[in-house]
Amino acid sequence: MGKELKIGVLISGSGSNLQSILDACACGKIAGRVVCVISNKADAFGLERAKKAGIPALHLDHRAYSGREAYDEALVASLREFGVELVVLAGFMRIITQVLLDAFPMRVMNIHPALLPAFPGLHAQRQALDYGAKVAGCTVHFVDCGCDTGPIIIQAAVSVIEGDTEDTLSARIQKEEHRIYPEAIRLFSEGALKVDGRVVTVRA
């Protein structure tokens, strides 16, 4: 068996994407394993999911730090302690700084519930509905110093249906999130992703 990628997952909430990644590792789809889960929120359900899977689950409260950089230094220290090689943001509702990016260059991924570059930032599904978009979706991308601007790895589209609410659209998008996030991590774990400027290609 080849080397296993050590994955660190950062969350703030339910952790359904975390669960899809745990499941993909457990069934051998991803040549890697989640070595730690860190939440900035004490009550994030994702911490329970991690514990259930026997994975170290840490609460690092951002309010205990003097600023974003100081918080990210603490994150980096914890991630390094567990030997993390890929940092996966899975509903981590914090803006990260250069401190984390410098520690893990082109090794931080995020999932965003919109077809970037449309609707970056908060409440992406609400933004799509308010704009009257007919197609919505999700994007897995490498994180750079901008807000949801990094090189795109995989996207999936879903139709917006008349009468959709934020909840119904989010549920349809999440189904796709749970498919494409593990897939992007699988490709990374196999060394199949090549990044050339903004453009990510998959090696044959």
DSSP state of 4: P
Q: Which two tokens stand for residue 182?
A: 């593990």
Count of residues near ligand GAR by CB under 6 A: 15
Does 20 belong to an annotated binding site?
no
Q: Which one of residues 4, 6, 16, 97 is an interface residue with ligand GAR (CB under 6 A)?
A: 16
Task: List the x/- string, 60-99, binding to ligand GAR by CB under 6 A.
Answer: ------------------------------xx--------
Does 68 belong to an annotated binding site?
yes
The two counts, helices (H) then strands (E), for the chain are 6, 9
Q: Is 178 a catalytic residue?
A: no
Q: Which two tokens stand for residue 41?
A: 């929120």
Does 17 belong to an annotated binding site?
yes
Q: Does 113 bind ligand GAR (CB under 6 A)?
A: yes
**What's the residue count for the chain?**
204
Tokens 């991308």 label which residue? 141
The span from the CA of 149 to the CA of 189, in Å, is 22
Q: Does 151 bind ligand GAR (CB under 6 A)?
A: no
Task: List the x/- string, 40-59, binding to ligand GAR by CB under 6 A.
Answer: ------x-------------
Q: Does 8 bind ligand GAR (CB under 6 A)?
A: no
- Rg of the chain, C-alpha, whole Å: 16
CB-CB contact of 66 with 53 (8 Å): no
Q: Does 13 bind ligand GAR (CB under 6 A)?
A: yes
Return the half-sphere exposure (C-beta side, CA atoms, 13 A cut-off) of residue 42. Answer: 3
Annotated binding site: 15-17, 68, 93-96, 110
List residues binding ligand GAR (CB under 6 A): 11, 13-17, 46, 90-91, 111-113, 124, 174, 177
